[in-house]
């Protein structure tokens, strides 16, 4: 083997090694208007990545024919093939195009609402139900300082019996425990029942407004806002509280519609 052949065999591996060595590629990323900060750059051949700084600049190890993927939210992902002239003193600029998003088609359909909050909430999205609820719970026009409470009856005025006096003192306290316990338990149960009844009466006007809506009373039935509580008291003898409590909502609506006519005549005569 002559000297020329030896020189070629020595030069070829060096050339191949030089071609495989990667160098830093410096570049900027921008759109049609300005620089793009925090864009992600990945060399798909080495899986090494980096991102642009506040000036849109970056550097990454690459060599000729490597593929650089550049991506950022709101822009189309671009892939650039590295060329030999990307290295050296040449300033490299990569441009990203804005991504256009189209909304899906929205179809408006006729609603099937009944006009009653409790029913409509079951077949409408939560956000619509919240809006309806906020509107229904606006009681600024009603004076609730006047509580709808029945007169205090004999049970409510009574006090717990003194069982020590009621029990035979010669019973050696055997009967005291049983009588005392039974009397106090019964009295406490009755007090709880009355308390629940009173609480229901206090909340009943608000519950009707929430169930049927303000427009039902003040527009459909034409009840003056300041007469709202008085109108409910007028209808009370027809057991509207009991009917509502038992879930007979339609019967309550019929009674309110019927009684509103006579009630309006009465208050108009009084005026």
Q: Is residue 31 part of a domain?
A: yes
The enclosing domain of 68 has a CATH number of 2.60.40.10
Mean of the per-residue pLDDT values of the chain: 75
The pLDDT assigned to 150 comes to 47
The pLDDT assigned to 195 comes to 85
The pLDDT assigned to 190 comes to 83
CB crowding 235-270: b at 16 or more within 10 Å, else e: beeeebbebbeeeebeebbebbeebbeebbeeeeee
Q: Is residue 271 scored above 70 in pLDDT?
A: no
Q: Are residues 40 and 141 in the same domain?
A: no
Q: Is residue 59 part of a domain?
A: yes
Q: Is residue 129 part of a domain?
A: no
Q: Are residues 154 and 218 in the same domain?
A: yes
Q: Are residues 145 and 76 in the same domain?
A: no
Note the pTM of the prediction, 2 decimals. 0.34
3-class state of residue 176 by DSSP: helix
Q: Is residue 117 part of a domain?
A: no
Residue 120, classified by CB atoms within 10 Å of its CB into exposed (0-12), middle (13-18) or buried (19+), is middle
For 105-122, how does the pLDDT look when each residue is reduced to its tens digit (9 = 90+)? 656 565 666 666 666 666
Q: How far apart are CA 265 and CA 271, in angstroms?
A: 10
The pLDDT assigned to 3 comes to 52
- CA distances to 43, 123, 208, 237 from 212, in Å: 65, 16, 6, 20
DSSP string, 79-103: EEE--GGGSSSPPEEEE-PBPP--P
Q: How far apart are CA 193 and CA 253, in angstroms?
A: 27
First to last CA, the chain: 131
Q: Are residues 141 and 265 in the same domain?
A: yes
- What secondary structure letter does DSSP report for 37? T
Number of structural domains in the chain:
2
CA nearest neighbour of 161 among 186, 183, 188: 183
CA nearest neighbour of 51 among 63, 36, 31, 67: 36
Q: Is residue 75 part of a domain?
A: yes
Q: Are residues 180 and 238 in the same domain?
A: yes
**Tokens 């899986």 found at:** 47
Strands 92-95, 23-30: parallel, antiparallel or unpaired by DSSP? parallel
Q: Is residue 182 scored above 90 in pLDDT?
A: no
Q: Are residues 146 and 238 in the same domain?
A: yes
Q: Is residue 209 scored above 80 in pLDDT?
A: yes
For 41-55, how does the pLDDT look when each residue is reduced to its tens digit (9 = 90+)? 999 999 999 999 999
The pLDDT assigned to 15 comes to 46
> Considering Cα of 253, then 254, then 257, then 260, what sign does the dihedral take?
negative
The pLDDT of 8-13, averaged and rounded, is: 50
3-class state of residue 38 by DSSP: coil
Q: Are residues 78 and 162 in the same domain?
A: no
Q: Are residues 50 and 146 in the same domain?
A: no
3-class state of residue 43 by DSSP: strand
Q: Are residues 81 and 143 in the same domain?
A: no
HEC string of 202-262 equals HHHHHHHHHHHCHHHHHHHCCCCHHHHHHHHHHHHHHCHHHHHHCCCHHHHHHHHHHHHHH
Q: How far apart are CA 156 and CA 181, in angstroms?
A: 19
For residue 251, give its domain range: 137-270
For 124-135, how does the pLDDT look when each residue is reduced to its tens digit (9 = 90+)? 555 554 555 555
Identify which has the larger pLDDT, 153 or 46.
Answer: 46
The pLDDT assigned to 72 comes to 92
- What secondary structure letter does DSSP report for 33? S
Q: Is residue 245 part of a domain?
A: yes
The pLDDT assigned to 75 comes to 92
């Amino acid at each position: 083997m002559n000297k020329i052949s030896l020189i070629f065999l020595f030069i070829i591996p060096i050339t191949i090694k030089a071609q495989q060595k990667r160098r830093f590629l410096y570049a900027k990323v921008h759109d049609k208007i300005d620089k793009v900060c925090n864009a992600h750059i990945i060399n798909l051949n080495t899986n090494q990545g980096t991102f642009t700084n506040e000036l849109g600049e970056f550097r990454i190890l690459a060599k000729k024919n490597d593929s650089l993927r550049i991506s950022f939210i709101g822009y189309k992902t671009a892939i650039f093939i590295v060329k030999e002239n990307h290295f050296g003193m040449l300033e490299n600029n990569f441009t990203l195009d804005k991504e256009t998003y189209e909304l899906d088609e929205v179809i408006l359909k006729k609603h099937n609402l009944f006009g009653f909050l409790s029913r409509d909430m079951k077949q409408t999205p939560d956000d619509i139900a919240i809006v309806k609820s906020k509107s229904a719970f606006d009681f600024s026009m009603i004076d609730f300082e006047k509580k709808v409470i029945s007169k205090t009856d004999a049970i409510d005025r009574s006090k717990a019996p003194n069982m020590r006096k009621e029990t035979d003192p010669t019973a050696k306290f055997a009967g005291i425990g049983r009588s005392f316990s039974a009397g106090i338990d019964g009295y406490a149960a009755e007090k709880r029942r009355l308390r629940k009844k009173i609480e229901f009466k206090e909340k009943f006007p608000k519950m009707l407004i929430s169930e049927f809506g303000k427009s039902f009373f003040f527009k459909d039935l034409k009840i003056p806002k300041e007469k709202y509580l008085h109108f409910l008291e007028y209808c009370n003898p027809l057991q509207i509280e009991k009917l509502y409590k038992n879930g007979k909502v339609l019967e309550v609506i019929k009674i309110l519609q019927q009684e509103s006519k006579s009630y309006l005549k009465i208050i108009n005569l009084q005026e």
